[in-house]
Amino acid sequence: MAKTRAAITAVGAYLPSSVLDNKTLEQMVDTNDEWIVSRTGIQERRILKEPGRATAYMAIQAAQNLLEKTRLSAEDIELIIVATATADMPVVATAAQVITALGAKNAFGYDLQAACSGFLYGLSTASAYIESGRYQKVLLIGADMMSSIVDYEDRTTCILFGDGAGAVLLEPNSEGNGYIDEYLRSDGVGKLHLGIAAGGSLLPASTDTVAEKKHYIYQDGQVVFKFAVTHMADAAEQIMLRNQLTNSEVSYLVSHQANKRIIDATAKRMGIVEEKVLMNIERYGNTTAATIPLLLNDFEHLFKKGDNIVVSAFGAGFTWGAALLKWAYNSKD
C-alpha cells in the first residue's frame, strides 16, 4: 500500500459581490486601465463593503460553500487552519470564529500568517497532521480582506489587491495521490520591501502612526518583483527536478496571483505551455492567502485524478516556495 498522503478532496470559495474595476480606480488615483493591465494583468477586483463583515465572514462563507458540496457535516472536521494576513482582530484567531459559525464543535483551529505564501505553507502544515495519522479531516482556508490595509490614495498598491476566500478539505489518501513534495523558504530581508510598519509589537498604534499612514501596506514594487520572479521560478524548477517531472508531465501551474508577468516568468522557466498556466488575476487581483484556493475552486472542473499540479507562491517576509500535488479525484465524481 502506498504511503498515506494528504489529498484535497473538496474545494469552496467566496467572493464579495462588489466589483472595483480599473475605470473606477482611474477616478480615485492617477492611473489608467492600460497601465494596470499591461503591468499586472488585473482588470477588476472584489471588495467586501458591508459594515461588520471582514475576513472571518469570507472564511466562513468559503467553508460553508465547500461543506455544501460534500456529504460531510461540520462536526466531522477535526482541525481548521486559516491562512490570513488580515485577521478580523489582533490576538483573536479567525479560525475560532469559523469553528463557531460552522458548528464544528469537534474541531480546534488557529491562524497561520505567512502573507501571500500562507496557503502554501498551510498545505505543508495540514498535510503533516494527516501524514502522521493525527487527524483525518482538516479544513484549510486562505482568506484576506486586503481592502482593510490598502491606502486608496496610493496608486502603487491600491490597484493590486482584492478581497476573497477559498477553502480546501484535506483527507488521507493511500492511492499515491495528494501532497507529494515541497520546497519552502523564507528570508527576513523582505521586511524592508513589503509589509505594514505599525500596529505590531515593534511600533504599536499611536496618533503618529495613524497620521503617517503606517497602518497601510507598503511595497517597493520593483525589488519585490525581482525577488518574486527569481525565487518562485527557482522553487518551481526545484520541484520539477526533485520529482523528475518533465514540462509535458506537469498538468497545471497554480501560482499565487500577484502579477501576470511574474506568473509568466515562472511558467517560462518551467517550460510549460500557456494552457497549463491557470490565472484569474484579471478578475480578482491579488487576494493574498486566497489566490491559490480561489484558483483551485475556479479550475476544479479541469482537474483529473493523477494530474500533476505545481503550486507556487511568493509573499511578504519574504516567504516563498512551491509544492507538487497529485490531484486525487475527477471533478465530476
> Which sequence positions are flagged as catalytic?
116, 256, 286
Which grid cell is 164?
A: 476573497
What's the angle, vertex CA 319, arms to CA 283 and CA 201, rounded to 5? Answer: 105
Closer residue to ligand UT7 (CB): 94 or 157: 157
What's the angle, vertex CA 316, arms to CA 146 and CA 199, rounded to 5? Answer: 65
Distance CA 173, CA 328 (A): 8
Tell me the closest approach of the beta carbon of residue 191 to ligand UT7, in angstroms.
13
Please check whether residue 153 is in contact with residue 214, taking contact to mean a CB–CB distance below 8 angstroms: no
86, with CB counted inside 10 A (0-12, 13-18, 19+), is buried
Nearest to 155 by CA among 323, 30, 277: 30
Closer residue to ligand UT7 (CB): 166 or 315: 315
Tell me the closest approach of the beta carbon of residue 23 to ligand UT7, in angstroms.
13
Tell whether the torsion through CA atoms of 270, 274, 277 and 280 is positive or negative. Answer: positive
Nearest residue to ligand UT7, using CB? Answer: 221
Nearest to 185 by CA among 45, 317, 35, 28: 317
Would you tell me which residues interact with ligand UT7 (CB under 6 A)?
A: 31, 35, 39-40, 116, 155-156, 159, 221-222, 224-225, 228, 258-259, 262, 286, 314-315
Tell me the closest approach of the beta carbon of residue 177 to ligand UT7, in angstroms.
29
Closer residue to ligand UT7 (CB): 39 or 269: 39
Closer residue to ligand UT7 (CB): 177 or 259: 259
Tell me the closest approach of the beta carbon of residue 159 to ligand UT7, in angstroms.
5
Distance CA 226, CA 212 (A): 28
Closer residue to ligand UT7 (CB): 40 or 127: 40
Tell me the closest approach of the beta carbon of residue 205 to ligand UT7, in angstroms.
24
- Count CA atoms within 13 Å of residue 23 on its CB side: 1
